[in-house]
């Protein structure tokens, strides 16, 4: 675990330190598009944040290659090189799109090519464990098509949800954290070495998102752009493909008592067709709804609009920060709930806890105008906007009292106010 924590910290530090210079470079390069009708921000903000995230990816892979416990991943597997090749290609296309606004079909073709590059180098799905049947081996063409489809779906799901400050990076970080815990359990809990690359990819992806988030939280100083959203989507998909294509369910059967039990135990992150629904369920739902909505209106599925889930939260009355936190909550609930259920599906407490948290999430969703206020003893532990909420309300009330008194004096309800004192001054002048 120490090696993974070191890799995580190095990735966080490099990404964080690179984001500031990248922001200045993006401003100098003119990568600051005008405000569009669907945008939520009010001021032009530089893009190209994916440059810093790609630097963090390279730094994470480099430091892992020089650690004794992790360099075996590079010696026994070609997956890190496959990931770096596909990531470099999709990142380059994203940089060009952030600057020149490429056509959607060009980006789609680049995503398929990047997935194909990874498949050629061995990062592909070899088999699928099906509950009740067992392991189903795939042909080369079947594995290639399924791998490319998973990469394209995941990239676009993350790209579609990147509409609010800190939303995509935070949601991917939460999902990746849950994925890391499960992959680490397979690697060190069961001793299955084939899960080591996926565990490493998840740790690096967490570092990329955590290092970028301080610059991207509302109000954002820089956006990741397509160079960042497509990059983290590809790394997330590569982590899932790695554990799906390399971990043999027959090996799991030795630990959990039979092939069918092994298939059931690994189901939440093992079947590629279900992975987007469990690990990135919210972005996937947003993607499906966007395609259906745009197709129903006779538009292109790639035509941008303001009908995404985060836009609807803003229309309900939620603030920018609260809409992001609500999306964080649901993403974490689904991802961690799925992983917890896969570890111990017989526990009723897990089901009850998920149900209770879901009810809490619905309450928060339906109360957009509720403003939490921290008590005085806890003001030092909360952000400033909650720390001074009570003081601001009291100051506003104090400021409103003289105004209300003046208005009531004008209406003749009281003798206090500027007009009530004016006759006294006139009388005093006549007395002189």
Residues whose CB falls within 8 Å of the CB of residue 119, separated by 6 or more in sequence, listed in order? 143, 144, 147, 148
d(Cα 346, Cα 367) in Å, to the nearest integer?
A: 34
Binding residues: 159, 226
Binding residues for Mg(2+): 159, 226
Q: Token digits for 112?
A: 């398929």
d(Cα 252, Cα 385) in Å, to the nearest integer?
A: 49
**H or E element that contains 136:** strand 134-137
- The β-bridge partners of 135 are 129
Closest by alpha carbon to 182, among 128, 243, 260?
A: 243
Look-up: residue for tokens 């001054």?
Answer: 425
Q: Token digits for 258?
A: 């039979």
Contact 138, 128 (CB under 8 A): yes
Is residue 194 helix, strand or coil?
Answer: helix
d(Cα 222, Cα 215) in Å, to the nearest integer?
A: 6
- Compute the chain's Rg from CA coordinates: 27
d(Cα 373, Cα 388) in Å, to the nearest integer?
A: 8
Contact 111, 226 (CB under 8 A): no
Contact 24, 61 (CB under 8 A): no
φ/ψ (deg, to 5) at 248: -85, 125
Closest by alpha carbon to 98, among 23, 167, 172?
A: 23
CA distances to 107, 113, 234, 271, 283 from 152, rounded to whole Å, are: 10, 10, 8, 16, 13
Q: What is the 3-state secondary structure (H, E, C) of 195-246?
A: HHHHHHHHHHHHHHHHHHHHHHCCCCCCCCHHHHHHHHHHHHHHHHHHHHHH
**Residues constituting the chain:** 432
């Amino acid at each position: 675990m120490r090696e993974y924590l070191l890799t995580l910290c190095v990735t966080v530090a490099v990404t964080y330190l690179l984001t500031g210079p990248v922001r200045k470079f993006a401003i100098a390069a003119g990568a600051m598009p005008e405000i569009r009708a669907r945008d939520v921000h009010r001021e032009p903000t530089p893009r190209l944040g994916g440059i810093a995230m790609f630097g963090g990816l390279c730094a994470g892979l480099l430091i892992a290659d020089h650690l004794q416990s992790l360099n075996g991943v590079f010696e026994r597997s070609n997956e890190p090189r496959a990931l770096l090749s596909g990531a470099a290609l999709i990142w380059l296309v994203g940089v060009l799109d952030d600057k020149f606004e490429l056509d959607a079909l060009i980006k789609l073709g680049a995503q398929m090519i990047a997935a194909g590059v990874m498949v050629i180098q061995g990062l592909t799905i070899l088999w699928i464990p099906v509950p009740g049947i067992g392991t189903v081996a795939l042909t080369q063409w079947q594995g290639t098509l399924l791998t490319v489809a998973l990469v394209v779906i995941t990239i676009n799901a993350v790209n579609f949800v990147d509409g609010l400050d800190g939303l995509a990076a935070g949601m991917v970080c939460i999902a990746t954290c849950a994925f890391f815990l499960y992959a680490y359990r397979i690697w060190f809990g069961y001793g299955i070495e084939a899960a080591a690359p996926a565990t490493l990819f998840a740790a690096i992806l967490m570092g990329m998102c955590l290092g970028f988030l301080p610059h991207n939280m509302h109000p954002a100083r820089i956006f990741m752009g397509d160079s960042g959203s497509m990059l983290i989507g590809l790394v997330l998909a590569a982590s899932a493909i790695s554990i799906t294509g390399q971990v043999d369910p027959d090996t799991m059967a030795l630990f959990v008592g039979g092939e069918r039990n092994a298939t059931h135990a690994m189901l939440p992150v093992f079947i590629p067709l279900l992975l987007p629904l469990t690990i990135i369920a919210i972005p996937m739902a947003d993607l499906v709804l966007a395609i259906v909505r745009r197709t129903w209106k006779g538009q292109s599925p790639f035509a941008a609009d303001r009908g995404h889930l985060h836009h609807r939260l803003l229309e309900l009355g939620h603030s920018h920060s609260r809409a992001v936190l609500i999306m964080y909550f649901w993403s974490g609930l689904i991802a961690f709930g799925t992983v917890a259920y896969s570890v111990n599906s017989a526990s009723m407490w897990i089901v009850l806890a998920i149900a209770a948290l879901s009810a809490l999430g619905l309450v928060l969703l339906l109360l957009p105008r509720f403003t939490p206020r921290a008590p005085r003893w806890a003001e030092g532990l909360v952000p400033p906007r909650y720390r001074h909420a009570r003081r601001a309300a009291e100051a506003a009330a104090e400021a409103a009292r003289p105004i209300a008194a003046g208005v009531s004096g004008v209406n003749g309800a009281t003798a206090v106010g500027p007009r009530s004192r004016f006759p006294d001054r006139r009388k005093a002048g006549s007395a002189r």
